[in-house]
């Protein structure tokens, strides 16, 4: 790779497809996310989701719906990072969406305090 700066066309070409890490070109994270960590956390949050849904349905705990919604947003985020481990230059726009989880927590706290 030459030491010249990249043109906008070259940057768009790199970000549009799936490319392995290219030495000298920085990723959007500043590093390459770990595939193993992504898979492990997706599985852990998936187990958490199952447990909270079980409590929500079986034991009729409404707070478990709030925690299940948080687990879903975490799974979406970690799935995006896991995909970025194979394609470090692709920009996952889904990760830029604000998760609804903080509003669920606020609603839960207000309901409990009332």
Q: How confident is the model at residue 41 (pLDDT cuts 50, 70, 90)?
A: very high
Instruction: With respect to residue 11, please indicate whether it lies within any of the assigned structural domains.
Output: no
Instruction: With respect to residue 20, please indicate whether it lies within any of the assigned structural domains.
Output: no
CA pair distance 39, 3, nearest whole angstrom: 35
Helix axes 63-86, 35-58, angle to 10 degrees: 160
Q: How confident is the model at residue 21 (pLDDT cuts 50, 70, 90)?
A: confident
Instruction: With respect to residue 25, please indicate whether it lies within any of the assigned structural domains.
Output: no
Instruction: With respect to residue 2, please indicate whether it lies within any of the assigned structural domains.
Output: no
The token pair at 12 is 């768009």
| Number of domains observed in the structure of the chain | 1
- The model's pTM is 0.66
Instruction: With respect to residue 76, please indicate whether it lies within any of the assigned structural domains.
Output: yes
Instruction: With respect to residue 57, please indicate whether it lies within any of the assigned structural domains.
Output: yes
Helix extents (H) in 1-114 = 8-16, 35-58, 63-86, 101-113
Instruction: With respect to residue 37, please indicate whether it lies within any of the assigned structural domains.
Output: yes
Residue 40 DSSP symbol: H
Q: How confident is the model at residue 35 (pLDDT cuts 50, 70, 90)?
A: confident
């Amino acid at each position: 790779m030459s030491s010249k700066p990249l043109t906008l066309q070259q940057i768009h070409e790199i970000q549009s497809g799936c490319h392995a890490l290219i030495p000298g070109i920085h990723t959007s994270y500043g590093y390459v996310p770990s595939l193993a960590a992504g898979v492990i956390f997706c599985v852990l949050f998936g187990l958490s989701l199952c447990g909270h849904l079980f409590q929500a349905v079986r034991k009729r705990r409404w707070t478990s719906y709030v925690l299940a919604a948080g687990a879903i947003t975490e799974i979406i985020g970690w799935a995006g990072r896991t995909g970025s481990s194979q394609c470090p230059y692709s920009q996952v726009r889904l990760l830029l969406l604000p998760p609804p989880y903080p509003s669920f927590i606020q609603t839960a706290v207000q309901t409990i305090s009332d």
